[in-house]
């Protein structure tokens, strides 16, 4: 199968490389010349475990290539995936669909023969209808079907998620497009991944509903964590206790500093706006967004309390900058409002992240001092804050860190360590949703 992937960002590049690994012929198209030149040299624009090797292998075998020229790959393709960005629009929170519609117009001009045009980008309900209208307006004689095929990839585990999906959602009523999509995903037959065929608008809403529900689970357990701290309970045991109920499930019940990243913040906002547009307000999702924003700001007050009520001229070591481990993505990371608030309180901030420091420099104050290890970050600090649960932070030499810190204070926003283990090494330990061991 010949596939053109429009957009070589996170979704487009991972999807294109995985489709190529299935044996399809894939051309990834992007207008960013520097990105395409880098990809041709084997340099990845994002960090995703295993992606560099997957791209290199399929490029070497001739199944995956990169170009800035859309015309020829689209004309030769059986299927064209649109995987461009849909960021939140400034001012109102709606998804900005400019790139989607621009791509649709260019694709319409270039297609030859019947072509499935598949929206892989996360788009609001009704976008497929508008893509179809734009394409027919651009070229009335074109033979195509617009399909919705949302992605459900977790950053840091995207390749596994693509190759071992929980489900594949395909929104179309066109029989030719259904047959073509079945052939594209046929290599997953042995994994018995369920393919769900539905209406296009339903497929679009499934993506938003899934992300909003997961964001709600995170926010729920974070509020339970606040209550657990007040009443002397342990939120991790609470999460396990309710997660063993198979109606609830244990995933996304890990208390922390709030959700971030490229999906949940913008997708919940876009869903709220859709509800408002259709006069079907989504009060639960609205509350989730408000509570999450407040929580990220509140984390600085937790650090302030741990440091004795004042951070003026004190050094705070931040371990982890990205919104989650195994990615370099800084978009809407909880570390951003945390660091900003700490600096506003007079703290000197020192930071370390295994992959995200270059991206952090683009979004954080120049006054942040970056180090080359967790130990260098903690050296001489008045408090150390674990913000992202990278595996490198799970087995730190706590005795060495205590000896190097000015004040042995750990604020663990991911509950990486048992309180007892840290406190017996002489630290003041503050976790999320559980009282210090000495107070139990």
All domains of the chain in start order, with CATH: 2-198 (3.40.50.720), 223-439 (3.40.50.720)
pLDDT of residue 265 exceeding 90? yes
**How are beta strands 383-386 and 79-82 bridged, if at all?**
unpaired
Return left, alpha or beta for 345; rule: phi > 0 is left, psi -120 to 50 is alpha, else beta: alpha
- What average pLDDT does this structure show over 320-348? 96
Which residue among 18, 28, 263, 377 is the active-site one? Answer: 263
- At residue 284, the pLDDT reads 98
Residue 273, CA atoms < 13 Å, CB-side half-sphere: 18
Q: Give the pLDDT band (50/70/90) at residue 437.
A: low
- What average pLDDT does this structure show over 351-372? 94
Largest CA distance in the chain: 75
CA angle 263, 29, 92 (to 5 degrees): 35
Mapping DSSP to helix (H, G, I), strand (E, B) and coil, where does residue 241 land? helix
Asked if residue 31 lies in contact with residue 8, where contact means CB atoms within 8 angstroms, the answer is no
Whole-number mean pLDDT of the chain? 95
- At residue 190, the pLDDT reads 74
CA angle 115, 132, 153 (to 5 degrees): 75
Return left, alpha or beta for 192; rule: phi > 0 is left, psi -120 to 50 is alpha, else beta: left
pLDDT of residue 37 exceeding 90? yes
Mapping DSSP to helix (H, G, I), strand (E, B) and coil, where does residue 292 land? helix
pLDDT of residue 91 exceeding 80? no
Mapping DSSP to helix (H, G, I), strand (E, B) and coil, where does residue 351 land? strand
Q: What are residue 209's phi and psi, to 5 degrees?
A: -65, -40
pLDDT in tens, 78-90: 999 999 999 988 8
CA 137 from chain centre, in angstroms, equals 34
pLDDT of residue 174 exceeding 60? yes
Q: Give the pLDDT band (50/70/90) at residue 189.
A: confident
- At residue 192, the pLDDT reads 79
pLDDT in tens, 270-324: 999 999 999 999 999 999 999 999 999 899 999 999 999 999 999 999 999 999 9
263 is catalytic: yes
HEC assignment per residue over 146-168: EEECCCCCCCCCHHHHHHCCCCE
Q: What are residue 166's phi and psi, to 5 degrees?
A: -70, -35
d(CA 410, CA 394): 13
- What average pLDDT does this structure show over 21-27? 98
- At residue 440, the pLDDT reads 52
Which of 299, 205, 204, 207 lies closest to 256 in space, CA to CA? 299
Least confident among 161-170, 188-197, 403-412: 188-197
pLDDT in tens, 205-256: 999 999 999 999 999 999 999 999 999 999 999 999 999 999 999 999 999 9
pLDDT of residue 439 exceeding 70? no
CA 65 from chain centre, in angstroms, equals 25
Asked if residue 238 lies in contact with residue 224, where contact means CB atoms within 8 angstroms, the answer is yes
d(CA 315, CA 349): 6
To 10 degrees, what angle do helices 200-231 and 264-277 make? 120
Asked if residue 256 lies in contact with residue 264, where contact means CB atoms within 8 angstroms, the answer is no
């Amino acid at each position: 199968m010949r596939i053109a992937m429009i957009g070589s960002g996170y979704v487009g590049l991972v999807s294109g490389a995985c489709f190529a690994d299935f044996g399809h012929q894939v051309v990834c198209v992007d207008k960013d010349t520097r990105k395409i030149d880098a990809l041709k040299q084997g340099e990845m624009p994002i960090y995703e475990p295993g992606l560099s090797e997957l791209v290199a292998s399929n490029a070497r075998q001739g199944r995956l290539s990169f170009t800035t020229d859309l015309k020829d790959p689209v004309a030769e393709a059986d299927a064209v995936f649109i995987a461009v960005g849909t960021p939140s629009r400034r001012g109102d929170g709606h998804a900005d669909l400019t790139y989607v519609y621009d791509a649709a117009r260019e694709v319409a001009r270039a297609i030859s023969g019947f072509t499935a045009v598949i929206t892989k980008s996360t788009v609001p309900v009704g976008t497929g209808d508008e893509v179809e209208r734009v394409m027919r307006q651009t070229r009335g004689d074109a033979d195509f079907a617009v399909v919705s095929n949302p992605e459900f990839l977790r950053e840091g585990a995207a390749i596994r998620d693509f190759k071992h999906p929980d489900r594949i959602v395909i929104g179309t009523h066109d029989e030719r497009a259904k047959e073509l999509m079945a052939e594209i995903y046929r290599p997953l037959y042995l994994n018995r991944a369920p393919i769900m065929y539905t209406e296009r608008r339903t497929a679009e809403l499934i993506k938003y509903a899934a992300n909003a529900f997961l964001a709600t689970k995170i926010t729920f357990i974070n509020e339970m964590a606040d209550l657990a701290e007040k009443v002397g309970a342990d939120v991790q045991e609470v999460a396990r206790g309710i997660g063993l109920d198979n109606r609830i499930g244990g995933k996304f019940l890990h208390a922390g500093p709030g959700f971030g990243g490229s999906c949940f913040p913008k997708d919940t906002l876009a869903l709220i706006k859709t509800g408002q547009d259709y006069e079907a307000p989504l009060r639960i999702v609205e509350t989730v967004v408000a509570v999450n924003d407040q929580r990220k700001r509140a984390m600085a007050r937790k650090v302030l309390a741990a440091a004795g009520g004042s951070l003026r001229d004190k050094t705070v070591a931040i371990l982890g900058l990205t919104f989650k481990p195994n990615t370099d993505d800084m978009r809407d990371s909880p570390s951003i409002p945390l660091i900003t608030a700490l600096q506003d309180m007079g703290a000197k901030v020192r930071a370390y992240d295994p992959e995200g420091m270059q991206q952090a420099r683009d979004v954080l104050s120049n006054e942040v001092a970056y180090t080359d290890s967790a130990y260098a970050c903690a050296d001489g600090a008045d408090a150390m804050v674990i913000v992202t649960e990278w595996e490198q932070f799970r087995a730190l030499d706590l005795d060495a860190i205590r000896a190097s810190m000015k004040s042995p204070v750990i604020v663990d926003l991911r509950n990486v360590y048992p309180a007892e283990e840290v406190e017996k090494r002489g630290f003041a330990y503050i976790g999320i949703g559980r009282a210090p061991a000495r107070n139990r």
